[in-house]
A and B are shown apart, each in its own frame.
Chain A
Amino acid sequence: MTGAELWTTAVVFGPLLASLVALGGRAWTLRAGLALGSATALAGSFGLWVEVTREGPVRHLLGGWGAPLGIELWADGFSVVMLAVTAVVGAAVSLYSTSYFGDLSQLDAEKSPAGRAARYFAPLWLLLWSALNGIYLSADLFNLYVTLEILGLAAAALVTLAVTPKATVAGMRYLIVSLVGSMLFLLGVALLYTEVGTLSLEELAAADLSGSMATSSLALMTVGMAAKTALFPLHGWLPPAHAGAPAPASALLSAVVVKGSFFILVRLWFAVYGGGSDGGLLLMGGLGAAAILWGSVLALRQRSLKRVIAYSTVAQLGYLFIMFPLLAPEGLSLAGSGEGSAGWSNDAWTGGILLALSHALAKAAMFMAAGNMTYAVAKDALRDISGVAHRLPMSFLAFGLGGLSLAGLPPSAGFVGKWLLLREALAARGWFWVAVITAGGLLTIAYVLMVLRHALDREASSGEFRPVPKRMEWAALLLALAAATLGVRATETFQILLQGGVQPWS
């Protein structure tokens, strides 16, 4: 077994095995499962990072069977950075969850709702982790569908671990949207197979996909994935689901789960379809711009902490779609008169993906920090966290640093990512994109400050205050620090992102 085969096996099957361990239902099996999953995912993605930086994209034929009948795992730079950020966020949230759900041995695991949440969070999350890593390593469309479906089922179940009626309804709606999204994707796959006769992404990239059947299958898959990524206007399910879930689940859903379907969209549009059509790219960018403005404005209007952060996710996902038109040759822009160089824009590529990474780190940190605040006061309204900064300085700092990265202030990774997108937009004279990127940043600062102002209030809320375990505060702060300083060490990320680049198979 070569190094690459070992690492790809570790990241997919490690968490899967860990999920089975965690199903044991004892306190120690939960901890052992989380430790095993985190260790294999971290080691595997680090190993792949080194391997891919050195050797370029790697391939693993599972059991020695290649396409079309076997399943291949395949990793390029884009896969590896997504694996790595999932591993870092996942390990931090796993650590956080061991304190958040309390001591299992003290809870009646089967009868009380809290006991059920404590017992089933770890197995579900580890299953989800395995599916997510599977998506990043998939080399064929059907494998993508299966891993996507596992991801969707586990994610919806995570939401309903919170026993409130609101969260249950939100989880059910999430499940329906997710299943319909997968079905649209599967119909697209079926039509594409009818037309081209292959499922392998690499063979599809080489095939002629300009026919009407292939185009409509791209449209179907795009609508399905956009619904799962909560791209405006299909974002309605996200805020109640992400705000209603237990805090560790919210962090995972907002930070890493939506990135899975985003990854598929990028792979399909650029690696397989070679950029689709100019009109399509503009449409995606336009929806992204609408998401930024709509999500930010609604975030400002929310009165509960977790809903502010959930709407912020809707807005920040918009930035990832602004990358679509900016990536295109000739610096496609709404202003029209681009003069950019031929080929894909490296600035837009590295900037856009870096934004996805920094959003994952920052949003997980913010949801965990918010989870600490609501854990302490047992309420979620903004007015109830008033004065909480004085009692939870570390969580306050974590939230602030995460916000700093979201808003794109230096030296955060968010700053570098936004700067690269902005530079690309300026070079292409896309004034519309420049305006949206800037306005989105200002709105982000506004809603982050809105939360910080409530937390800093001198008038402490009169209600009770539950002490927060130190482990939960550290997990949030470490991720926030990573998000705020990733910008300084962006070079390694750029290097590996160019292994394979936008179109790895051409």
Chain B
Amino acid sequence: MTSLDLYTWAGVAVFLLALHAVVTRAHLIWKVLAINLMGTGVFLVLLAAPARRDPLMADPLPQGMVLTGIVVAVAATALALGMALRVVARTGSPFLTVETETADPDPDAPEAPS
């Protein structure tokens, strides 16, 4: 394994650890942070990508992708945090309530008022 492979696999490892956190951590802030970390893992992979093929030449494409990816991640995080605040305001809890599939808990819940 070369050191460049190491970069790629380290990125994948960060991604997988963060994925594990999204699934296992119930608190919404944890989930949002973990999703950010997944993105960071992908960025590591992207930065290592061009050097694997030609270590001497700069490749602008992955850099452009990481920059765009950061912009997208900022927008997504802002929306996710805003929505997490709404969840707390409307349900009083920072966790997602679990809904079972077969039971249809409350059919009388009102439609969106209009």
Specify which chain B residues have a CB less than 8 angstroms from the CB of A290 in the assembled complex: none
Specify which chain B residues have a CB less than 8 angstroms from the CB of A114 in the assembled complex: 112-114
Contacting chain B: which of A45-53, A149-157, A410-418, A481-489? A149-157
Q: Is the CB of B68 within 8 A of A142?
A: yes
Specify which chain A residues have a CB less than 8 angstroms from the CB of B80 in the assembled complex: 172, 175-176, 179
Cross-chain contact of A168 among B31, B50, B90 (Cβ < 8 A) = B90
Interface size on B, residues (CB 8 A): 52
CB within 8 Å for A246 and B114 given contacts A153-B75, A160-B83, A302-B104: yes
The CA-CA distance from A68 to B62 in the complex, in Å, is 11
Q: Is the CB of A102 within 8 A of B114?
A: yes
CB within 8 Å for A169 and B112 given contacts A187-B45, A304-B107: no
Contacting chain B: which of A32-40, A361-369, A373-381? A373-381
Q: Is the CB of B15 within 8 A of A183?
A: yes
B69 to chain A, nearest CB (A): 7
CB within 8 Å for A307 and B104 given contacts A168-B86, A183-B39: yes
Listed residue (A114, A179, A374) with the most chain B CB atoms within 10 angstroms of its CB? A179
Residue of B nearest to A167 (CB): B112
Cross-chain contact of B102 among A160, A176, A191, A301 (Cβ < 8 A) = A301
Specify which chain B residues have a CB less than 8 angstroms from the CB of A156 in the assembled complex: 79, 83
Specify which chain B residues have a CB less than 8 angstroms from the CB of A171 in the assembled complex: 83
Q: Is the CB of A146 within 8 A of B49?
A: no
Contacting chain B: which of A58-66, A83-91, A193-201, A427-435? A193-201
Contact with B along A401-424 (1 / 0, CB 8 A): 000000000000000000000000
B30 to chain A, nearest CB (A): 11
Task: List 21 A–B pairs whose Cβ atoms lie within 8 Å, in order of A's numbering.
Answer: A114-B112, A146-B72, A153-B75, A162-B112, A164-B112, A166-B109, A171-B83, A173-B96, A179-B35, A180-B19, A180-B22, A183-B19, A186-B69, A187-B12, A190-B11, A190-B45, A191-B12, A194-B52, A245-B112, A304-B107, A380-B108
Report B's interface with A, CB cutoff 8 A.
8, 11-12, 15, 19, 22, 28, 31, 35, 38-39, 41-42, 45-46, 48-50, 52-53, 60-62, 65, 68-69, 72, 75-76, 79-80, 83-84, 86-87, 90-91, 96-97, 99, 101-102, 104, 106-114
